[in-house]
Amino acid sequence: MRLWEERARAEISPSMHHTSLILQDSLPQYLSFLVTELSTTIERTSARINADKVESDRIGRKHGRERAEYADYSITQLILEYHILRQVVFQVLEEEAPLTIRERDIIISSIEQAVNDAATQFSQTLSEIQEMFMVTLTHDLKNPLNVMKMGTHLVLRRFERGDRYFDVTARMIGAIDRLDGMIQNLLDTSRLRAGQGLSLTFENCDLEQLLQEVMEDLNFAYEERFVLVSGGAVETRCSRKELRRVIENIAVNAVKYGAPNTPITLTLQHTATTVHITIHNEGQPISPEVQSILFQQFRRTKTAGEQKGWGLGLFLAKSLTEMHQGTIEVESAEGKGTSFIIKLPIAPTETANPQSNQIENG
């Protein structure tokens, strides 16, 4: 361990900031485990082999978890630690006599397994830390944002429609709402990645009325670009708040990536069992290759250019639609524009989705 520490301090920069005890961490335990692996006197029963495997996993994961908790360590540096350890083990043991093929194979295999276990746990722990940071950050941002929203609404009341300050204040409210939506998207994505699910409160919904409300708000923000086509009221059970988010996320996407200054159509249709909400925009088609990643979180296509966003809107739209026991389909072709088709059952079974009541939004 002394030779390993000397090399680690020379070749791995974060090691310079830690004491010997912290730097060596669980590696002495690993060397003790390696001793038993190399032993020719211990009987290798199936029970002993299984027990050794459990102990090896535990030691490797312990080292990976503790390294991930130090902000200055990367997974590359973690792996380099084990490579140095393997070289030092060979160096020290072969000072006495050449290692047999069996001994070399055991050492190489054991360290490779230790690297895999440590790297897997390192990645998992880092992901957990990032998720916790994301949830804390988004919650902390919510409070000042709510104060801004309330204050701006109070200011808006002082002006009459048509006053230039009214328009400026209204745009500020729209910008705050979009920022609020982005933060909520980030928070909900973190919850979904953690397997927590979201809470959806189902109620009777008039989808035509819901689409009318969404269209009016979008037209206020995007200069009357949205058109609603509907054959009449459609009643179903839904979470109004979350279904509205689905429609708005897809509609805003249509504004970003569709042809500018062209109408965006919201169409409501239904059969005896299914509701279809179609959001259509003109513009360049989406290739099949791009369609395959559209609904993945944090993925943005090359055609996104300088459009701002985190690549979460469509991921959340798909997740929330599935919580309504629905699906989203994409149709896109040259000369025909792009349509996102949300298909929902007329009367979803609220208990069908086990995630629907695990945690409250907000």
Transcribe 291-314 into DSSP letters: HTTTTSTT---GGGTT----S-HH
Q: How confident is the model at residue 105 (pLDDT cuts 50, 70, 90)?
A: very high
**The pLDDT value given to residue 311:** 59
CA distance 45 to 32: 19
The model's confidence at residue 219, banded by pLDDT at 50, 70 and 90, is confident
> Could you give phi then psi for residue 100, rounded to 5 degrees?
-75, 165
For position 282, what pLDDT does the model report?
A: 95
Compare 92 and 172 and report the one with higher pLDDT.
92
DSSP secondary structure letter of residue 16:
G
Tell me what the mean pLDDT of segment 280-302 comes to: 77
Q: At 274, which amino acid appears?
A: T
pLDDT band of 53, cuts 50, 70, 90: confident
Place of tokens 């509701």: 275
Span 294-313, average pLDDT? 56
Burial class of residue 123 in the structure, from the number of CB atoms within 10 Å of its CB (0-12 exposed, 13-18 middle, 19+ buried): middle
Average pLDDT over residues 316-342: 92
Least confident of 104-108, 245-249, 282-286, 292-296: 292-296
Most confident range (mean pLDDT) of 66-70, 202-206, 351-355 is 202-206
Whether the domain at 131-193 and the domain at 203-352 fall into the same CATH topology? no
pLDDT of residue 345: 92
- The CATH class, in words, for 131-193 is mainly alpha
CB 284 within 8 A of CB 335: no
**Among 74, 72, 66, which Cα is nearest to 24's?**
66
265 contact partners, CB below 8 Å, separation of at least 6: 226, 227, 228, 229, 278, 279, 280, 281
- Residue 359 reports pLDDT greater than 50: no
- pLDDT value of residue 135: 67
Ordered by start, the domain boundaries in the chain are 2-128, 131-193, 203-352
For CA atoms 341, 284, 248, 200, give the dihedral sign: positive
**Residue type for position 43:** E
Mean pLDDT of the chain: 83
For residues 40-61, average pLDDT: 79
In terms of CATH, what superfamily is 203-352?
Histidine kinase-like ATPase, C-terminal domain (3.30.565.10)
| Percentage of the chain exceeding pLDDT 90 | 36
Q: Do the beta carbons of residue 221 and residue 288 sit within 8 Å? A: no
Write out pLDDT tens, residues 229-265.
998 899 999 999 889 989 998 998 899 889 999 999 9
What distances in angstroms separate CA 221 from CA 172, 217, 255, one per listed residue? Answer: 11, 7, 11
Run of H or E including 46: helix 46-68
pTM: 0.54
Mean pLDDT to the nearest integer, 9-23: 86
Task: State mean pLDDT over 171-194.
Answer: 74
Instruction: Report yes or no: 253 and 313 within 8 Å, Cβ to Cβ.
Output: yes
Which has more pLDDT, 201 or 192? 201
Q: Choose between 300 and 264: higher pLDDT.
A: 264
Which of 269, 294, 279, 280 has the alpha carbon at shortest distance from 346? 269
What pLDDT score was predicted for residue 194? 61
The structure tokens 């944002």 sit at 145
Residue 230 pairs in a beta bridge with 268
